[in-house]
Structure 1
Amino acid sequence: MPVDCRELVEAISIIANERNVQVTMKQATKGSLVCAASAFAGGILLGPVGLAVGSAAGGLMAYKMTSGKFRPLADVLINDLTDRQKEQLVRRVNNAVAEFAISDLAILLPMLMNNASIQEAVLKTAISFVSNELRVQVIQ
C-alpha cells in the first residue's frame, strides 16, 4: 500500500520541527556582510578597540535586519513546494532510504518516526532538495 505523498512530507516536517531546522532567503549572508563591514570600519577608525566596537554594532544591526526573516523548514515543505516538487522530494527520500532495505513506502513512515538513522538520511535529503530547488540557505 503506497503512502500518500502528503503524508510523507508531513512526517518530514515533523522531524524538521523537532530538530528546529530553519530556512532563510539570503538573510544570513546579508547579516554577516553587515557585521564584517562594521568590524572593518571600526578597526580602520579606532584600531583594536574599534574592531570590538564595530563587531558589536554590526552584530546588533545584523540582528535587527534579519529578525523574523527565518522560517521553519517544515513550513517551507508544506506551503512552498509545488505538488511536482513534493513528488520529486518523495522520490529522492525513497532513494535515500533504499540502503535501509525498506521495500514499501508504507513501511517507511513508522520507521521514520522511530529510527534516528533513517531520520537523519531523510532530513539530509530534504535539506539538500530545498537548498537546490528553492535556492535557500538552511540553518540547523
Structure 2
Amino acid sequence: MKLLCSVSQKKMKAAFKYSWLGGLVTGTVAVVGGLVGGPPGIAIGGAVGGLLGAWMTSGKFKPVPEIIRELPADEQERLFINTIAILRNLSWTSVEHLTMLVMGNKTLQEQLVDMLNNYFIKELGSEMK
C-alpha cells in the first residue's frame, strides 16, 4: 500500500461521483442567466454557477493515497494482488527498495497508475482526475 501511495501521490485524485453535481449546477445557473440576461447573462451565470458548484463539491475530491489508506482490508488485498501481478518479476528486499525500483522505472509506474485507475473506476465507481 505504501508503494501505491507513492506512485499515486503525484497526479491522481478521485472524485466519487460529485463531478456531475458541479457541472449540473454550473450549467443550470448559466441557462437561467442566459434566459434572464441574454449572452452576458450566460457568462455571468456560468461564472456564478461555477463558483457555486465548486463550493458545493469542495472536499469531495480526495487524494488517492488517502483513499487507499481508508479502504477496508479486503479491498486493500485486491489491490495488493493486482500490484503483485505487475511486479512479480522484480527482485526486492524491502518496501523502500521496491519503491526505489518502481519510482526509477516509468513503465512500471504507468502500469501501476493504469491498474489503480481501472480499479477505482470499475470497483469503486469513482471518477479519476
Equivalent residue for 1:57, pick from 45, 48, 53 = 48
Equivalent residue for 1:103, pick from 84, 89, 105 = 89
Structure 2 unaligned residues grouped into runs of 5+: none
Separation (CA, whole Å) in 1 of partners of 2:39 and 2:10 = 41
Q: Which residue of 2 aligns with 1:35?
A: 26
- Number of aligned residue pairs: give it: 125
- Letter aligned with residue 17 of structure 1: Q
Q: Which residue of 2 aligns with 1:5?
A: none
Name the SS for the 2:108 alignment partner: helix
- Offset of 1:129 from its aligned partner? 0.6
Q: Report if the CA contact (8 A) 1:94-1:105 is conserved.
A: no
- Offset of 1:30 from its aligned partner? 0.4
Note the alpha carbon deviations across 1:81-133, whole angstroms, 9 max, x for none: 222222211222333x37xxx52574792421211111011011012112222
TM-score, reference length from structure 1: 0.78
Name the SS for the 2:9 alignment partner: helix
- Letter aligned with residue 60 of structure 1: L
- Offset of 1:25 from its aligned partner? 2.1
TM-score, reference length from structure 2: 0.84
Structure 1 unaligned residues grouped into runs of 5+: 1-8
Counterpart check, 1:129 vs 2:123: no
Change (3 A) 1:105 1:12: farther
- Letter aligned with residue 116 of structure 2: A
- Aligned-residue CA RMSD in angstroms? 2.0
Note the alpha carbon deviations across 1:56-102, whole angstroms, 9 max, x for none: 110110111112221110011111x222222211222333x37xxx5
Equivalent residue for 2:3, pick from 11, 14, 30 = 11
- How many percent of aligned residue pairs carry the same amino acid? 26
Separation (CA, whole Å) in 2 of partners of 1:66 and 1:10 = 28
Q: Report if the CA contact (8 A) 1:93-1:126 is conserved.
A: no
